[in-house]
Structure 1
């Protein structure tokens, strides 16, 4: 490998520490640099940076069977706290976690019930989850959705608008157009694919559109995105469709991403 070809991955690895989208210390760097556009224009190799996303939901409220079986939950209240791995009872009794979340945010609604949103972005076992920039006792609202299987996502709002959104699109989609005001999003067929131990995957692209910006990301890329005069760091966690499955348990599609300011 030449010096010039070596320099790019080294530079990318170094900048990953400062974007909030890097796979090392994502929670810390997201907390430090999440609003700053100068720390966000780094892209990564799709096959080297594929990650996994988790979203789950729990509550202390007593829900009816019909309420518990819903696929969409609107939560309004005040932030109790935000913690790393603070898995108290009932943390995922509404939308189960397919794996342990790295971060939880708890919100107390007007009736006194506490809702716990658990979420994570992990890459090669590293916690890459950007930190949600909300304060204790701050009024917030959230939309949490699931497809009824493993796909789940949430969007968190404060008085200034959208603050954080994470889609864990494992085998399907959760968040819908209209959940993020002024932002539409979806996937499209990418170009090419790659081999895994279990078969072939085809690239997907993730597309985000607002009046101010149009953004297309491949798996592992990140970039800045503007909507309603706000700057969002937007990170592709993974984006692929399974073409052939030699293991029998591969997800048919996984389009996961996170957006925050």
Structure 2
């Protein structure tokens, strides 16, 4: 007989236990699903003193791993399945963390290094996509090289090409269909408003935008500061990143950043928006 329970579910993690009296399951893999879409997986390898004392095997029956839910997924429908088996654990009494306490899950949802590695190993992400998402998640910034032929081309055509690349990268990061608003002539002071708008439109993902200019510009980014929960602000001890010409900058607006004086001339911002219905 196989027994088990899902003890905890959030938008970024699932924990529980599973035990079989006749078959040792330690080391076996369990997978998390939402509507038949696999959203994560991990081994049965956690020791649980409470379960040992309750007579559940040797206590090494627990699991816990990150999950990569789509923004529209309801965590209460998540179930756990033993890989290669028909066993399915449903949530009898799912415990969801309060909305105001999911900040860390929201910042890393689907972008936790372990979740990204899981998706890469399964072929869901290319190596380039994996590295881009990992860099964004770790540092809050990523520079994307562009394949542009700039000679004898209209400015509008260049913008459309960059917008296409920005849209592909941002859609991958947000893990949902989006439209891209192209805002030309923007300045550093405009980014705070974009951050607020993205927080309202996409409450469960970081506010990532794309930045580009025809000439080379620079911004200092406090790498990793997007994890501290303070939300943007000026960079203290930031690392300088260049963007423009043949490079697109993807920036988490929760990270501290300071533009060099040259950026006052303006740049183009690619802002994710929800598709029109």
TM range (shorter): under 0.3
Structure whose residues are more often strand by fraction? 1
Structure whose residues are more often helix by fraction? 2
Q: TM-score, normalised by structure 2?
A: 0.26
When Rg is computed on C-alpha atoms for both structures, the one with the higher figure is 2
